[in-house]
Amino acid sequence: SQVELGGYPHYMLKEIFEQPESIRAAMRGRLDRDQATAVFGGLNLDARRLRGIDRMILTACGTSWHSGLVGEYMIEEFARLPVEVEYASELRYRNPPLSSDTLLLAITQSGETIDTLAAMREMKRKGHPVLAICNVVGSSIARESDGGVYLHAGPEIGVASTKAYTSQCVVLALLALHLGRLRHLSYEAGLRIIDELEALPEAVERALESNDVARRIAGLYASCENFLYLGRQYNFPTALEGALKLKEISYIHAEGYPAAEMKHGPIALVDEATPSVFIVPQGGVYDKVIANMEEIRARGGPVIAIVDEQDERASAIATEVIRVPAVADFLQPIVTAIPLQLLAYHIAVLRGCDVDKPRNLAKSVTVE
C-alpha cells in the first residue's frame, strides 16, 4: 500500500489513533455558528425540498449499517423525522410502501458495496431523492446519488472499519442538526449541539488514553470464546459495533444486544468464561443499565464496563473498568467506540490474528 504505517504495527491501530484528526476533518467548514446549523456543499436538495421530506430510510451494510442506527436516534431526536434503518441486501429486494417524499440515505465507506448500490438504484427508480455519505471520492455510490456528504477521513486500509465509522456518526450528527434547523430545532439548541461537536475531537483524544487499560484487559480475556456486548439507546448500536469488531479480527464469537433484551436469551450463555462488555456512560438509562449489569454479575459473569471518567456506581459493580470522557448522549457512540476498537485490536493481536486482513473478509464487497 502507498499509505505508510508511520511507526504503527498495523493499519488498524494507526487508523484508530487518527480519529481525533479524521473527526476534525468531517466537521471542517461545516459548522455555522451564526445560523446555529451545519452546512454542506453537495446535498443538491434545497431547503424547501428537505423540509418536505416525510421520512428517511437509511441503508448500508456492516459497520456502516451500525452508524445508520446511531443516525436513526440522532435524526429522530434533532429533526423529529421518522427513520428506518435497512440492510441494503434486504431493501434491494423489498417493495415497501413509501411516498415520493421519503428520502433514501446510503451510508458507505467505500462507495462500492454492491448491495448498497443496488438498494440505492432501486429507490431511485421509484422516484425517491437519494443522498449518500461516502468516504471514497468519486466512488460509484457518490456518483449515482443526487448528492451527499464526504467523510474526508482519508484512506482506510484496515479491513475492519474504525475511523470511517466514527466519521459517519459525526456526519450523521451534522445532517440531523441541519434537518432539525430546517424544522423545529431552536437556535439555542442548535448552538448547544455545535458546542458539543466542537469539544468532541479532544474527548476522542482522551478516550485514546484508554489504550493501556484496554491492552491489559485484553490480556485477561483473550482466551475466552464468547463475549456479550450490551448497551441501550444511543449505545445499543455501539454494542453491535463492539461485537462486530471482535468477531471480525479475533474470530471470537460475540453478540451485541440491547442490554435489557439479554434476559430473553443471551443471559443463558453467561458463565465465568463469558465476559459481558457494558457500555454504560451517564445518561437517561444509566440506572437501567446498572440493573442489567447486576443481573450478569449475579450469575457469575465477568463485566467489562465502559464508563465516564467520574463514574462511581457502575465501576463499583464491574469486574474491569475503562474510563472515557463524559460527552452529550448523541456523541457517546463515538467516544465509547474507541476503547471497544482497542479492546478488539489487542485481543486479536494476542491471539496471533492477521488484524489488517482477517480471514474470509474483504474491505469492500463488490459481488453479491
Q: How far apart are CA 274 and CA 34, in angstroms?
A: 51
| Residue among 50 and 252 whose Cβ is closer to ligand G6P | 252
Output the smallest distance, CB 60 to ligand G6P, in A: 6
Annotated active-site residue 363? The verdict is yes
Q: Is 110 in the site for ligand G6P (CB under 6 A)?
A: yes
Over the window 48 to 87, marking each residue x when it contacts ligand G6P by CB under 6 A and - when it does not, the resulting string is -------------xxxx-----------------------
Over the window 314 to 333, marking each residue x when it contacts ligand G6P by CB under 6 A and - when it does not, the resulting string is --------------------
Other CB atoms within a 10 A radius of the CB of residue 265 amount to 10
| Residue among 39 and 361 whose Cβ is closer to ligand G6P | 361
Can you tell me which of 37, 59, 116, 336 binds ligand G6P, judged by CB under 6 A?
116
Q: Is 191 in the site for ligand G6P (CB under 6 A)?
A: no
Quick one: DSSP state of residue 46? -
Can you tell me which of 159, 324, 344, 355 binds ligand G6P, judged by CB under 6 A?
159
Q: Is 19 in the site for ligand G6P (CB under 6 A)?
A: no
Q: Are strands 31-32 and 37-38 parallel, antiparallel or unpaired?
A: antiparallel
**Which three cell numbers mark 16?**
484508530
Q: How far apart are CA 222 and CA 262, in angstroms?
A: 23
| Residue among 61 and 327 whose Cβ is closer to ligand G6P | 61
Alpha helices for the chain (secondary structure H): 11-17, 19-27, 47-51, 62-79, 88-91, 114-125, 140-144, 163-181, 187-198, 200-207, 211-221, 236-250, 286-298, 313-317, 332-350
Which candidate, 243, 64, 246, places its Cα nearest to that of 151? Answer: 64
Q: Is 142 in the site for ligand G6P (CB under 6 A)?
A: no
| Residue among 124 and 313 whose Cβ is closer to ligand G6P | 124
Burial class (CB in 10 A: 0-12, 13-18, 19+), 131: buried
| Residue among 22 and 110 whose Cβ is closer to ligand G6P | 110
Q: Would you tell me which residues interact with ligand G6P (CB under 6 A)?
A: 61-64, 108-110, 113, 116, 159-161, 361, 363-365
- Which positions are annotated as active-site residues? 363
